[in-house]
A and B are shown apart, each in its own frame.
Chain A
């Protein structure tokens, strides 16, 4: 990598303004600092939830109780799911890289409402703390699963109220971030940057933001109704009080299915930035990718019923939801073809970000095709709520969103910190992670097909081998995670200085200093070209 000397400008990492030390971060309205606040919070929570995942895997290494009892296991998968979904993947890429890079990529000095942005982070932290508290106060750690299905969640004696409130509060943060991004994209693009001159990561954030703003209130109200049900005994969902348990499932998935796209769309956006840079070639099918983001966001609203195929909904509902689920798969397939074609004929530099991006495609394909097996009516009956589903969503969320996050962090790291990580170590960590990931989750497809249900503390003897192999994978994966994080954390302070544009990227973030100044741009650039124009020279 290019070695260089320390930068001479004043970057956003240096203090400027009234506050010093930690306060200069906690009270900063700079979108870059807020992005890092989110990132550090998310990494801490991710480690906690990953350890919980590892504990579950250790428990399931052999049949019977090994290191915990059934109640503990149920609590662990619940908080693992709540942290991973509500605290990590839903804010995830948008809050971290969206905050940091959206304004820069559209040539703005900040988001539209910087103070609101900071407030969103505080709301997020309060929600996250509520989630943590739910483990320690009241009637024991919640044991409902992150889906809070009624009647169980209305009746469980554990501290479900705290967990519901946590999810409710986190939803607000998500709405506010979405709102902020929509306005930012509408109002703050640099002069000359028409919609179709905007890079594709901002495009994906735009589609995401609309989902956040329009879908999140539904889960908010739904959770509130469950809270009312638990505290005031009003029967909305619990049949014992005269409610309708399926109504809850509908409302829950009307939000939570689109929420899946809240996490995967920005992930797609991140890798869409990475392929052109490491191929030195424009994105293939720019318009198709931009439009398919919106198409996914739109059609994604009408497929929630595929989570309820076996719940007793009517024949034609099942038909309709299944059909639409298949249709919404097409834009994702198109994106895969576009990414591959972006690399085709390029000048490929297989650096860690590209490694992660390519493995993203691989894992996302496995997650996507197994998703089709879940979307098909006949096969869904067999697979629903088995460990096949667990494997499927880990491939999509962890293999997709997670690997895209890792890709993004390795891509933008030199920009964010002005330093480079150890590339060799990053490659090794990637290899361990990738192998560990597949050893961990692939067996779950197989035992799921054989009938192993999910959320099972214990299992029948025929599933032992699969569970054992999976648990071994968890250890490998964990080792990879630690190595990757070690490399990054260490390089923040100790890595060699990086140049402003180490990967030869062409989007705006690579045209400014590393790390960026407080203002990002001295003068707002004027945009004359489409976003992915690489010069033909190439050495």
Chain B
């Protein structure tokens, strides 16, 4: 197992080596000493027990030496760990998605794969996303592991050193098929990786249209639903080109919600208020939403049948 398959392996293994070496010496030494005592001081007539019960010098020694040793252990652990949090700027970014009970790797542009395919000798950063409960992405050969927690932007990174296949395991219990939540890392030569990526079909989710992202980020969706349900304001579903009864200066009129109407609703929402909704609930987005952004939003609304 000590084959240093990634840039982080050496630091981890050094810490292992130091801790286990100290442990071995102490465990074997103390055990041997206890056996020696039991044999040497076996109870027998005419061999009374000594009655000492303290020795300050000894007690200081065996407080200070362990203290130094554990601080050294801590130090080795820290040195091996510190690089794990310093991701190089040029790292290849891939989103690793954990869901009950499979891994998915998102290369952007809708390109997703069930295995992690990466080029050799290039730093890789995995952004960890959970779609449900906690998981943990563990690649033993690379000495990397980080929990995949819903709502958290956890990450890990490493540079693989050798071409080959390595196991990916889930190490945070996640329910029924936790133990089947395994995948593989395939480390390829650079060109092979490029080929693989080029041939990877975009089957995953296409990124959200810009208009939708804008609607979401501006906060419109807090009051307008996309699914037809009525919230504080009318739903966006099917609004484009629909006939609406609106109140225009205390008069009910029927209009068609065309581009122009929609745009006005963003900037002067109270001018023509859909019947059944109250004035003053929606602020004007003048100065918040640019004309260009409003067009993108409306483009999106057009597609919402």
User: Is A378's CB under 8 angstroms from B12's CB?
Assistant: yes
B170 touches A376 (CB 8 A): no
Which chain B residues (79-127) contact chain A, with CB distance < 8 Å?
Answer: 79-81, 84-85
**A153 nearest CB neighbor, chain B only:** B133
Q: In whole Å, how far is A502's beta carbon from the nearest beta carbon of chain B?
A: 14
CB neighbours of A155 from chain B (8 A): 132-133
Which residues of the partner chain B approach A459 to less than 8 Å between Cβ atoms?
A: 179
The complex places the Cα of A445 from the Cα of B149 at a distance, in Å, of 27
The reply to whether the CB of A336 lies closer than 8 angstroms to some CB of chain B is yes
**CB contact under 8 A between A455 and B73, given known A151-B133, A348-B42:** no
In the complex, chain A residues 422-474 whose Cβ is within 8 Å of any chain B Cβ: 449-451, 453-460
What residues of chain B lie closer than 8 Å to A457, measured between beta carbons?
Answer: 178-179
Interchain nearest-CB distance for A68 vs B (Å): 13
Q: Which residues of B have CB within 8 Å of A165?
A: none
The total of chain A residues at the interface (CB under 8 A) is 88
A460 touches B71 (CB 8 A): no
Contacts of B141 in A (CB 8 A): 451
Q: Does B180 interact with chain A (Cβ within 8 Å)?
A: yes
Q: Is B189 part of the contact surface with A, judged by Cβ < 8 Å?
A: no
**B residues 28-51 touching A (CB-CB < 8 Å):** 30-31, 33-34, 37-38, 41-51
Is B70 a contact partner of A327 (Cβ separation < 8 A)?
A: yes
Query: Given A373-B19, A385-B171: A282 and B51 within 8 A (CB)?
Result: yes
Task: Output the least CB separation between B21 and chain A (Å).
Answer: 11
Is A333 a contact partner of B77 (Cβ separation < 8 A)?
A: no
Task: Specify which chain B residues have a CB less than 8 angstroms from the CB of A279 in the assembled complex.
Answer: 41, 49
Least Cβ distance of B136 to chain A in Å? 6
The reply to whether the CB of A33 lies closer than 8 angstroms to some CB of chain B is no
List, in ascending order, chain B residues with CB within 8 A of A212's CB: none
Give the segment of B150-158, B193-201, B212-220, B293-301 that binds chain A. Answer: B150-158
**CA gap between A117 and B116 in the complex, in Å:** 58
Kindly identify which residue among B44, B134, B171, B178 contacts A386, using a CB–CB cutoff of 8 Å: B171
Judge whether A539 is part of the interface by a CB distance below 8 angstroms: yes
Neighbouring A residues of B138 by C-beta, 8 Å: 385-386, 451, 453
Q: Could you tell me how many residues of chain B have their Cβ less than 8 Å away from some Cβ of chain A?
A: 82
Contact among B78, B175, B178 with A378 in the assembled complex (CB-CB below 8 Å): B78
Q: Is the CB of B49 within 8 A of A334?
A: no
A244 touches B151 (CB 8 A): yes
Contact A282 B53 (CB under 8 A): yes
Taking each of A144, A358, A366, A456, which has the highest tally of chain B beta carbons within 10 Å of its own beta carbon? A456
CB B167 to nearest CB in A, in angstroms, measures: 7
- Name, among B31, B34, B144, B146, the residue most crowded by chain A CB atoms within 10 Å (CB to CB): B34
Looking at the complex, which of A19-27, A178-186, A312-320 is the stretch in contact with chain B? A312-320
Across the interface, name the chain A residue whose C-beta is closest to B47.
A347
| CA of A373 to CA of B132, assembled, Å | 31
| Contact, CB under 8 Å: A453 / B171 | yes
Question: Do A538 and B49 form a contact, CB below 8 Å, given A348-B42, A358-B38, A376-B19?
Answer: yes
Q: Which residues, 227 to 258 on A, are CB-close (under 8 Å) to B? A: 239-240, 244-246
Q: Is the CB of A373 within 8 A of B179?
A: no
Contacts of A538 in B (CB 8 A): 48-49
Is B77 a contact partner of A377 (Cβ separation < 8 A)?
Answer: yes
Can you list, as one digit per residue, whether each of A279-320 has a CB less than 8 Å from chain B (1) or not (0)? 111111110100000000000000000000011100100110
Is A15 an interface residue, CB under 8 A from the partner? no
Is B66's CB within 8 Å of the partner chain A? yes
Q: Flag whether B206 is at the interface (Cβ < 8 A).
A: no
Our pick among A288, A370, A375, A451 for the contact of B169 (Cβ within 8 Å) is A451
* Sampled A-B contacts (13; CB under 8 Å): A279-B41, A281-B50, A319-B78, A330-B63, A341-B55, A358-B34, A378-B76, A379-B80, A382-B140, A382-B143, A453-B169, A457-B179, A458-B180
15 further A-B pairs in the complex, CB-CB below 8 A; given A378-B78, A381-B143, A456-B178: A74-B176, A74-B178, A284-B54, A327-B70, A346-B50, A347-B49, A358-B34, A358-B38, A365-B27, A376-B77, A378-B12, A378-B80, A385-B171, A455-B178, A538-B48
Top 9 nearest A-B pairs (CB, nearest first) are: A378-B80, A376-B77, A451-B140, A369-B23, A377-B81, A239-B151, A456-B179, A345-B50, A282-B53
